[in-house]
Amino acid sequence: MSTQSSRRSFLGHAAAGFSTLALSRLAQAQATTEPPPRPLQVEHAVTDPVSLEVNARPIPNFEPRDRSRTRFGSLDYRSGLVLTSPFRGFGGLSGIRLDAKGERFLAISDQGGWFTGRIRYSGRNMAGLDDVEAAPLLGAEGRPITEKRMWWDSESLTRDGNLVYVGLERVNQILRYDFAKGGIRARGEPIPVPPALRKLPHNKGLEALILVPKGQPLAGTLIAFSERGLDADGNLVAFLIGGPTPGQFSVRRTEKFDISDAVLLPSGELLILERKFSWFTGVDIRIRSIPLKSIAPGAVVDGPALFKADLGQEIDNMEGIDVHVTAEGETVLTLVSDDNFSMLQRTLLLQFTLVE
């Protein structure tokens, strides 16, 4: 039996019963409400700037049970990669932003690290990563943020030209970096955030960031989403920081999904990447579409699901999403997974075309 078949068989049995501790690290990441001790956080942190090798294995089919299938909801599968590296700090990827061509990328790990590089393509399919570098996220003092207690959990990322914003879960802070002052060696300055944001749950707090560009409703607003901070009605709390109408709103929570990341389409549609975990069904992900114009202080927003997937497809703990438009006019979504530095999980890079 092939390695791939063995893995799919294992995941199928795990999703059906979960009678062993095989996915215990994933269970920690998805199901706990109180943060367990995580002694490996410092161990896997990037401590100094470094160039690294990243190996890529192609994922020819998103649906192994039906290799002819490419359409999944409103998305058409383009290509995917399983990424590995001998560098022990590679992994835990929780956010990604691409350039306009979908080639250069900026990513963060949830252990206080930057990763940059270039996606290499063969035709329209991703073939590998080149020129990959890593560096620690620095604080205002010029030291790695991991030296501060609880400041290692960098979970969210958004970019506006040279200004890059990083959200830290657990401490629920937002750092602003000016890449004109050293790129990934720039120092991060904490920005003012609403008091309610600071009070989000310790391990289900700040999870996604969007900076609304000029020409869109709410231009200049930094939108911050919680993973599972709930309002009085059980909906997911989010914040409008700065911009014309700062305040708090909620995203309707359905089917027990939590927020992983978000991205804004050129059309003004907000896409929210969500996931949920269960001992009985395993991992599920979905992408919902919400009109940006529906967001306002006090609003409860909702929208249809464009895409759903589970362990029957080639997914893992998908935590990052971004979008770019090709020269042919195709809208391409890129998703990345957080492997929790576990032997039983994978770092996946997936791309889909948005067809509806």
pLDDT digits (tens, 9 = 90+) for 137-151: 999 999 999 998 888
pLDDT digits (tens, 9 = 90+) for 58-75: 999 999 999 999 999 999
For residue 334, count CB atoms less than 10 angstroms from its CB and return exposed for 0-12, middle for 13-18, buried for 19 or more. buried
Residue spans of the domains in the chain: they are 3-354
pLDDT of 160 over the 90 cut: yes
pLDDT digits (tens, 9 = 90+) for 81-138: 999 999 999 999 999 999 999 999 999 999 999 999 999 999 999 999 999 999 999 9
Q: What is the pLDDT, as a whole number, of residue 43?
A: 74
Q: Provide mean pLDDT across the span 250-275.
A: 97
Residues 6+ apart with CB under 8 A from 223: 209, 210, 211, 212, 238, 239, 240, 241, 262, 295
Residues 6+ apart with CB under 8 A from 226: 197, 200, 201, 204, 205, 206, 207, 236, 237, 238, 259
pLDDT digits (tens, 9 = 90+) for 234-253: 999 999 999 999 999 999 99
Q: Look-up: residue for tokens 């305040």?
A: 247
What kind of architecture, by CATH, is found in domain 3-354?
6 Propeller (2.120)
Q: What is the pLDDT, as a whole number, of residue 10?
A: 40
Global confidence as pTM: 0.88
Q: What is the pLDDT, as a whole number, of residue 42?
A: 55
pLDDT digits (tens, 9 = 90+) for 188-223: 999 999 999 999 998 899 999 999 999 999 999 999
Q: Provide mean pLDDT across the span 315-331.
A: 97
| More confident site: 313 or 41 | 313
> Strand pairing of 125-136 and 93-98?
unpaired
HSE, side-chain direction, 13 A CA sphere, residue 336: 28
